Structure 1
Amino acid sequence: MIEAPHFSAAGQKHAAAFALPSDLFDGTVNEAVLHQAVTSHLGNQRQGTAKTKRRQEVSGGNQKPWKQKGTGRARQGTTRAPHYRGGGVVFGPIPRSYRIELPRKVRQLARRSALNARAREGMLHVVDPIALDAPKSKVLIGLLAKLGLAGVRTLVLTDGSKPAVHLSGRNVEGITVLPFSDATAYDILHAHALVIEAPALAGSTKESA
């Protein structure tokens, strides 16, 4: 059984550690699958609109720059060949899709591996539900400071959608707030520490894709 430190919503550490659910935390970290998940995520963010003109697309160059023979210079047929300034580009980028689709079970395995990696490093913290009536960045920053995460890139995973908590961290550098079910393997790996609400882990039997 894997355990993580358990804190109150005010940042006070409980005497007993939190037993992480075995359906998610089995200690397995599949680095190959994590690599696939990160590569897929980054590729899917690319627009793929980079474009250069090839020699047939560059304007001009319809005439020979000089006659074929008699000048002593090397023969040339156009000034838009790749070795000319202003000429076409050889093997340059053209618009294409970098999208990589991963099977649902692979995405789920990557997510579990990412969670296990952070738990193994001791960078996973469990907190009681964070209750905010209105957005308060100061409260969220204070909580993370009490957890020893001041200045650490942190991902806060809530039990479902909590707009007040989300808005509290939206404008704070290094803090990201997401519902637990929405977090991907990339989100978890990009953060250096995880703070997860206890009810989110208690209801984690349904895995997100």
Structure 2
Amino acid sequence: MSLIDVYNLNGEKVSQLELTDSIFNIPVKPSVLHEVVTMQLACRRAGSASVKHRSDVRGSTRKLFRQKGTGRARRGDIKSPLLRGGGSIFGPDPRSYSYKVPKKIKKLALKMALSSKTINNNLIVIDKFELEEAKTKNFIAVINTLKIKKALIITEKLNESLELSSRNVPDIKVMRFEGLNVYDILKYDKLILLETSIKGIEGRLTA
């Protein structure tokens, strides 16, 4: 077990917390992280690129002119890909880019991402994040006090005032622990965990 300091919204140390070494302090393998992040980004691709092929273009199927005797190149119908307004050759069709990696690899990569933040001192634990009202100004004041610029904030449950007051702040994202993923952890410089969310994360990764 490794100890980490717990802070309040004023940046003051209030207590210490024990973190499970099998989750927050394991060797990091970039190849595993790369595999899972690549999978996540592939699954996010829309795959909606599409063109009209020869059979999709509207037009007559009549042969434009006779095959021989005109001195011109041979022509079929007006939908030929060689003519203006004709169909496209080898263009993209809607498809899915998503694929899966084994659950054990996904879980291992998530542990490695958390460990990388701990090892590099980019993990911050806060006892609670309660705002009196959903105002961006109040949220920015707290962020400035904690000296944070680009961070992912993980909560245990719905925190409406926090989520509403932070949604217009660039480089800040609030997420519940159920949605925690490798890509978002690595994307942001700092990882801020509410003290109550740690049990949920540990329960998810030890199950």
Shorter chain as denominator, the TM-score bin is: 0.7 to 0.9
Q: Aligned-residue CA RMSD in angstroms?
A: 2.7
Q: What letter corresponds to residue 196 of structure 2 in structure 1?
A: P
- The correspondence of residues 56-135 of structure 1 with structure 2, limited to 5 A, is 56-135=55-134
Q: Which runs of 5+ in 2 are unaligned?
A: none
Q: Which residue does 1:43 correspond to in 2?
A: 42
Q: In structure 1, the residue corresponding to 2:153 is in which secondary structure? A: strand
CA positional deviation for 1:22: 0.9
CA positional deviation for 1:4: 5.2
CA positional deviation for 1:32: 2.7
Share of identical aligned residues, percent? 34
For residues 25 and 120 of structure 1, what CA distance do their matches in structure 2 show? 8
Using the size of structure 1 for normalisation, the TM-score is: 0.82
For residues 97 and 49 of structure 2, what CA distance do their matches in structure 1 show? 12
For residues 88 and 127 of structure 1, what CA distance do their matches in structure 2 show? 59
User: Greater CA deviation, 116-125 or 80-89?
Assistant: 116-125
For residues 204 and 153 of structure 1, what CA distance do their matches in structure 2 show? 21
Contact 1:7 1:128 in 2 (8 A): yes
Q: What letter corresponds to residue 120 of structure 1 in structure 2?
A: I
Q: Which residue does 2:10 correspond to in 1?
A: 10
Q: Which residue does 2:197 correspond to in 1?
A: 200
The number of residues matched between the two structures is 206
Q: What letter corresponds to residue 194 of structure 2 in structure 1?
A: E
Which among 167, 183, 186 is matched to residue 186 of structure 1?
183
CA positional deviation for 1:157: 1.0
Q: Which has the higher helix share?
A: 2
Q: CA deviation digits over 1:162-187, x for unaligned, max 9? A: 22222221232221111223211122
Contact 1:157 1:179 in 2 (8 A): yes
Q: Which residue does 2:20 correspond to in 1?
A: 21
Using the size of structure 2 for normalisation, the TM-score is: 0.82
CA positional deviation for 1:191: 1.9
For residues 49 and 204 of structure 1, what CA distance do their matches in structure 2 show? 35
CA positional deviation for 1:59: 1.7
Q: Which residue does 1:162 correspond to in 2?
A: 159
For residues 23 and 102 of structure 2, what CA distance do their matches in structure 1 show? 18
